[in-house]
Amino acid sequence: MFRVDNKIAVITGGGSGIGKAISTLFAQQGATVCILDINDDSKAVADEINDTIGNAFFYKCNISHQPEVKAVVAQIIQQHATIDILINNAGIAHVGTVENTSAEDFDRLMNVNVKGVYNCLHASIPFMKQKGGSIVNLASVAALVGLNDRFAYSATKGAIIAMTLSVAKDFLQYNIRSNSISPGRVHTPFVDGFLAKNYPGKEAEMFDKLSKTQPIGRMGKPEEIAHLALYLCSDEASFITGCDYPIDGGFVKLNT
């Protein structure tokens, strides 16, 4: 069960955190993994997968730049002939209210988190239409409940859920399924970097505090998000489209 044998899976931000966990798991389950990432260091993830599993490729790509995305997708099609799975995982965060969020920061968030997803959908769907496929977009619990100091970030993740529904509706007849995942707090290198930057000397204290905001009492693991993404892209989920899945240790339902 939950195999993706011989599928071509494009994973943005696939070189770290949740994206790395998705890339690794999908390769283990039989997919050819195409990692798109702006960071050159992410090539090491593709190399690691190839050393242990096989079938991973790295493509340096700034998803906010449409010509770059189109060129990378064209390269993937030339090498692999099709795209069966698209995981829109790449994104950036921001802390601030509407009052103290600058126009520059707002535009930066929109360009990566919203336009980046649009660019990847726009470039990939024409090829997915040929024989169907599965799309999973990474949203956030920030799109579902009010969070302090997350104005721009929440706006972008709300847009992702809306785009997920629109794509699901528009491309049903092409056997393209579109779903989104809304994680709560997940322990990734980003979290460690955020704590080190904003709470020097108090990292452990703040990590414990943030962990306890989930009713389950801990942060999620990247691998747990990856398992949900795998299910949604597998044949076992063939009756599922147009849905958002909170995976949050009870944060949305048990805190409200």
Kindly report the CATH number assigned to the domain that includes residue 132: 3.40.50.720
- Mean pLDDT estimate for the chain: 96
Domain range for 18: 8-184+221-251
Rounded to 10°, the helix 17-28/43-52 angle is 30
| pLDDT tens, position by position, 36-88 | 999 999 999 999 999 999 899 999 999 999 999 999 999 999 999 999 999 99
Long-range contacts formed by 39-45: CB under 8 A, 24+ apart: 39/15, 41/15, 42/14, 42/15, 42/16, 43/15, 44/15, 45/14, 45/15, 45/16, 45/20
Q: Confirm whether 100 is domain-assigned.
A: yes
Same domain, 122 and 246: yes
Same domain, 232 and 129: yes
Same domain, 80 and 104: yes
Q: Confirm whether 3 is domain-assigned.
A: no
**In this predicted structure, what is the pLDDT of residue 220?**
97
Q: Confirm whether 39 is domain-assigned.
A: yes
Q: How many domains does the chain have?
A: 2
Q: Confirm whether 29 is domain-assigned.
A: yes
**In this predicted structure, what is the pLDDT of residue 194?**
83
Q: What is the CA radius of gyration of the chain?
A: 18
Active site residue 153: yes
| Alpha-carbon dihedral sign for residues 137, 143, 145, 149 | positive
Same domain, 131 and 190: no
**In this predicted structure, what is the pLDDT of residue 256?**
57
Q: Confirm whether 148 is domain-assigned.
A: yes
Q: From 6, 10, 71, 15, select the one nearest 40 (Cα to Cα).
A: 15
Same domain, 118 and 205: no
Same domain, 179 and 197: no
User: What is the average pLDDT across 209-219?
Assistant: 94
**In this predicted structure, what is the pLDDT of residue 215?**
96
Percentage above 90 pLDDT, the chain: 95
Q: From 2, 76, 65, select the one nearest 34 (Cα to Cα).
A: 76
| pLDDT tens, position by position, 136-183 | 999 999 999 999 999 999 999 999 999 999 999 999 999 999 999 999
Same domain, 24 and 42: yes
Catalytic residue among 59, 118, 153, 174: 153
